[in-house]
């Protein structure tokens, strides 16, 4: 990235909108050969949209797109690939049933004159490539038998060694252990010396500062800062990501919020040393009646797994749960429900029956409370009607198929399922994600109301605002371990991000 060098990739005034909503507004971006360029920004700031434009996934946008100084128009990801651009997506995309070597050479296996695959050559070359990466595995092993972190490293290796000149890595480190992250960084540095240009997206600002030369910060679809990594700090980057001065429409929680004195009320749930393979390590906490416990962390930090363990959907490898002092090992979600635990998962699709009427959705988890053998549809409808009125679900028609409701109203139905006979512990995953401001406020009010009624509530979210707007006490989960507890002290978005 020396002065006078021509950028390998240059974007000028990129604007992209989805259905009238501008995801990117006039973004300029330049990438130089032999540079590692870090990208940071909150969820929805526009990083991924920009990267998908570069990788040829989004082809409709306005602005100029130059590779090696020549204007390009990609029509597909294939075109981008032909231009030497490769991307590693956040979700693992490997073929677990094929061998390591086949995965490394996926799509371009070496063949002989007859078109037959040259297995020995493929295995040898795959082994050599992976060895450069510091990965020592049998190239003929089945990929799916390897640990997830190793699989991810192999996928990254495949892209890095595919001959691409521009490599985009989207959250490559979230599933990796610290030594694996170190290995990845060593390889990235070596590729940089060979002249490859690398874009590195991560929520882990330390990682960005450690490995990248330049950092670009996105906020609300705009590029708000670009600095040399050496000249900035974690605090400065977080400040740039969040923005000061009332730019955001909603309460942005940039100022300190005082958490209350922890309540001395009854412990409803006690989790002790919960561990789950690579997802969770020795997670211990208590959840009390009349208290909202917020658990904040980045995507992939183990929140999802934790919530599933609390509801008996996943079994921890080790560790114990106790509800009101009674040790529990949930054999099924039904057992967790009977013990007084309720879960609203982050995906409404997983929670609701879209082809069934609203009242059946609301009554399903309490049917055994209102009927032993025969159904009582009239009573079901009454109960549903009460919930629909109380939570102001629109339209207030309990016989309507759930699929006809808007997302926010569906989310309320997902809550309503548990409220007729309130559980002792309510676990909410991303309770306000993807909702408009009005629906968000409704949900927040419902949760606060339930707290007043004495429920123990756990809110797990990757959005700092959600946790800050609801929680009385906040735990920060980082790569599967609890790293910080906020209680009876001032907290803000900066402080949360800083801790994660």
Partner 1 sequence: MSSETAMATGQRTRGLAPFLRSQMRNIAPFLTLIFLTAFFAFASPSFATLDNLGNILTQVSVTGIIAVGLTFVILCAEIDLSIAAIANVTGIAVAYFTLQESYVNIANVPLPGAVAIILSLLLCALLGLVNALGLTVIGIPSFIMTLAMMQIAAGISALLVRGQIAYKVPSLITTLGSGSIGGIPWIVIVAAIMLLAGHLVLTYTRFGRYVYMVGGNREAAEYSGLNVKLILGAVMVISAVCSGIGGMLGVAHFGSAQQNEFDTYLLDSIAAVVVGGTSLFGGRGGIGNTIVGLFVLGVLNNGLDHVNIDSFLKILIRGLILLAALVINVYAQRLREKAAE
- Chain residues binding partner 1 by CB under 8 A are 311, 313, 332-334, 336-338, 342-343, 345, 349-356, 360, 364-365, 367-368, 371-375, 401, 403-404, 417
Please name which of 1, 42, 494 lies closest in space to residue 230, comparing C-alpha atoms.
Answer: 1
Q: Which is nearer to partner 1, 40 or 269 (CB)?
A: 269
**CA angle, corner 146, sides to 151 and 97, nearest 5?**
80
Which one, 99 or 365, has the nearer CB to partner 1?
A: 365
Alpha-carbon distance of 470 to 457, in angstroms, equals 10
Instruction: Between 153 and 358, name the residue whose CB sits nearer to partner 1.
Output: 358
Residue 209, Cβ neighbours under 10 Å: how many? 17
Q: CB of 442: closest distance to partner 1 in angstroms? A: 22
Please say whether the beta carbons of 216 and 208 come within 8 A.
no
Kind and range of the H or E element at 87?
Answer: strand 85-88
Taking the complex as a whole, the smallest distance from the CB of residue 433 to partner 1 amounts, in Å, to: 16
Shortest CB 358 distance to partner 1, Å: 13
Q: How far is the CB of 414 from partner 1 (least distance, A)?
A: 9
Residue closer to partner 1 (CB basis): 93 or 355: 355
CB of 184 to partner 1, least distance (A): 34
List, in sequence order, every residue forming a beta bridge with 11; answer none if it has no partner.
29, 65
**In the block, which residue shows the tokens 């981008």?**
80
Q: Residue 37 or 360: which CB sits closer to partner 1? A: 360
Angle (CA) 159 136 302, round 5°: 70
Residue 307 vs residues 138, 312, 336, 428, 472: alpha-carbon distances, Å: 36, 9, 12, 8, 19
Q: Determine the 3-state secondary structure of 195 from DSSP.
A: coil
Min dist CB 190 to partner 1, Å, is 44
Smallest distance from the beta carbon of 347 to partner 1, in angstroms? Answer: 9
Per DSSP, 229 falls in state G
- The whole-angstrom separation of Cα 448 and Cα 294 is 13
Considering the complex, state which of residue 32 and residue 311 has its C-beta at the smaller distance from partner 1: 311
Query: Which is nearer to partner 1, 425 or 496 (by Cβ)?
Result: 425
Q: What are the residues facing 201 on neighbouring strands?
A: 39, 170
């Amino acid at each position: 990235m020396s002065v006078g060098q021509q950028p390998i990739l240059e974007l000028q005034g990129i604007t992209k909108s989805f259905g009238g909503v501008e995801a990117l507004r006039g973004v300029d971006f330049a990438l130089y050969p032999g540079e590692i360029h870090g990208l940071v920004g909150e969820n929805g700031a526009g990083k991924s949209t920009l990267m998908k434009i570069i990788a040829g996934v989004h082809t409709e946008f306005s602005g100029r797109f130059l590779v090696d100084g020549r204007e390009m128009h990609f029509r597909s990801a294939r075109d981008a690939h032909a231009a030497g651009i490769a991307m590693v997506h956040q979700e693992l995309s490997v073929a677990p049933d094929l061998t390591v070597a086949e995965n490394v050479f996926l799509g371009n296996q070496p063949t002989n004159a007859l078109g037959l695959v040259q297995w020995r050559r493929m295995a040898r070359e795959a082994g050599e490539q992976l060895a450069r990466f510091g990965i020592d595995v049998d190239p003929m092993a089945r990929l799916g038998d390897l640990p997830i972190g190793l699989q991810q490293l192999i996928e990254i290796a495949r892209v890095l060694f595919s001959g691409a000149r521009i490599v985009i890595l989207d959250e490559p480190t979230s599933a990796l252990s610290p030594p694996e992250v170190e290995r990845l960084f060593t390889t990235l540095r070596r590729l940089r010396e060979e002249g490859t240009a690398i874009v590195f997206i991560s929520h882990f600002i330390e990682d960005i500062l450690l490995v990248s030369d330049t950092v670009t910060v996105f906020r609300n679809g705009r590029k708000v800062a670009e600095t040399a990594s050496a000249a900035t700090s974690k605090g400065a980057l977080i400040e740039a990501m969040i923005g000061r001065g009332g730019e955001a429409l909603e309460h942005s929680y940039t100022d300190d919020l005082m958490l209350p004195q922890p309540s001395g009320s009854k412990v409803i749930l006690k989790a002790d040393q919960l561990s789950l393979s690579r997802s969770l390590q020795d997670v211990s906490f208590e959840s009390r009646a009349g208290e909202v416990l917020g658990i904040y962390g980045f995507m992939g930090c183990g929140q999802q797994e934790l919530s599933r363990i609390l509801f008996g959907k996943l079994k921890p490898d080790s560790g114990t749960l106790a509800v009101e002092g009674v040790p529990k090992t949930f054999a099924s979600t039904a057992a967790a429900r009977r013990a007084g635990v309720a879960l609203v998962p982050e995906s409404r699709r997983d929670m609701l029956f879209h082809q069934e009427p609203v009242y059946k959705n609301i009554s399903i988890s309490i049917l055994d409370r209102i009927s032993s053998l025969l159904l009582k549809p009239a009573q079901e409808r009454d109960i549903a009607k009460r919930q629909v009125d109380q939570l102001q679900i629109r339209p207030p028609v309990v016989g309507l198929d759930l699929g006809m409701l808007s997302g926010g109203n569906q989310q309320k139905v997902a809550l309503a399922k548990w409220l007729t006979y309130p559980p002792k512990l309510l676990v909410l995953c991303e309770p306000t994600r993807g909702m408009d401001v009005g629906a968000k406020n409704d949900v927040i009010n419902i949760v606060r109301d339930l707290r007043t009624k004495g429920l123990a509530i756990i809110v797990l979210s990757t959005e700092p605002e959600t946790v800050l707007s609801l929680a009385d006490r906040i735990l920060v989960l980082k790569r599967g371990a609890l790293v910080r507890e906020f209680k009876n002290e001032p907290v803000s978005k900066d402080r949360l991000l800083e801790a994660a």
